[in-house]
């Protein structure tokens, strides 16, 4: 099975979430000038919407944000109520959640960071 890597990006200047036609790579690092790259997690919400890094979801009546956990090298979730507590993403739970937005689109919608 071939893994597919997908990205969206936050255009810092235009303040828009965009799909990219190309990403630059230099010395093994991906980048796009003026953008924040957001990687697809491989997971889908309740409505089969792709879940990306920094997406905010409604899960069991609370908001969670999807983040990369550098310490555990895995996708994790951060609860708005307990921002210091990163928990490994659970495919089943995410599948029952609803994607609200991405943090960059509406930072005021998620008070933890």
DSSP-assigned states of every residue in 61-102 = TEEEEEEEETTTTEEEEEESS-TT-EEE--HHHHHH-EEEEE
Domains of the chain: 7-109 (2.30.30.290)
Task: Kindly report the pTM of this predicted structure.
Answer: 0.89
pLDDT of residue 112: 58
pLDDT of residue 107: 85
User: 58: how many CB neighbours lie within 10 A of its CB?
Assistant: 15
Per residue in 60-92, pLDDT (tens digit) is 989 999 999 999 999 999 998 887 889 999 999
């Amino acid at each position: 099975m071939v893994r597919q890597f997908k990205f969206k990006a936050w255009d810092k200047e235009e303040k828009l979430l965009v799909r990219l036609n190309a990403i630059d790579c230099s010395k093994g690092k991906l980048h796009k000038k003026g953008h924040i790259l957001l990687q697809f997690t491989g997971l889908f919400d309740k409505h089969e919407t792709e879940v990306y890094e920094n997406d905010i979801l409604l899960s069991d009546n609370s908001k969670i944000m999807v983040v990369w956990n550098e310490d555990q090298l895995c996708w994790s979730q951060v609860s708005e109520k307990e921002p210091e507590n990163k928990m490994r993403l659970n495919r089943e739970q995410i599948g029952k959640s609803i994607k609200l937005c991405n943090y960059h689109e509406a930072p005021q919608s998620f008070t933890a960071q």
